Amino acid sequence: MFEAYNEEAFRYFLALERKRAERFNRSFLLLLVNLRKQPSMPNVTNQIAPHVATDVFGALCVCVREVDFMGWYREERVVGAVLSHGAATPEREASHRIGQRCVSALSERLPAPIASRMQVRVLQLRPRVRA
């Protein structure tokens, strides 16, 4: 069972992962999930309701490993997951495959109108280049 961290804890662990990645000169993946706003429905918020958040975190549990962690990247707006890697740099295709797997998992767990508004991004964060 995964624990979903609040924004403060998630950002703290994300900062630790960045430092670890820099120390060992490796990259890691940051998965971000949010609800897109609908221009045709300006009164509909992009806040993720608690019952939807439960389903989102549940869906992501099947997409991440025990060594990864997830939580609120931005409280009630953006769910984040950090997918750490070993010494090897993740393949270019890895981000796409992970994103597709998450979209599928979300589509299975969420009602269609909500699933269609979910935006999934997988970013490869590389160590900063030092001058």
Domain ranges of the chain: 4-125
Which pLDDT does position 45 carry in this prediction?
74
Query: E strands within 1-116?
Result: 4-5, 28-35, 69-74, 78-83
The closest alpha carbon to 84, from 124, 120, 119, belongs to: 124
User: What was the pLDDT predicted at 24?
Assistant: 86
Burial class of residue 112 (count of CB atoms within 10 Å of its CB; 0-12, 13-18, 19+): exposed
For the residues 26-35, what does the mean pLDDT come to? 93
The stretch 88-94 carries a mean pLDDT of 68
Render pLDDT for 51-78 as a digit per residue (tens, 0 to 9).
999 999 999 999 888 889 999 999 999 9
Domain with residues 4-125, CATH architecture:
2-Layer Sandwich (3.30)
What average pLDDT does this structure show over 100-127? 93
Average pLDDT of span 12-21: 93
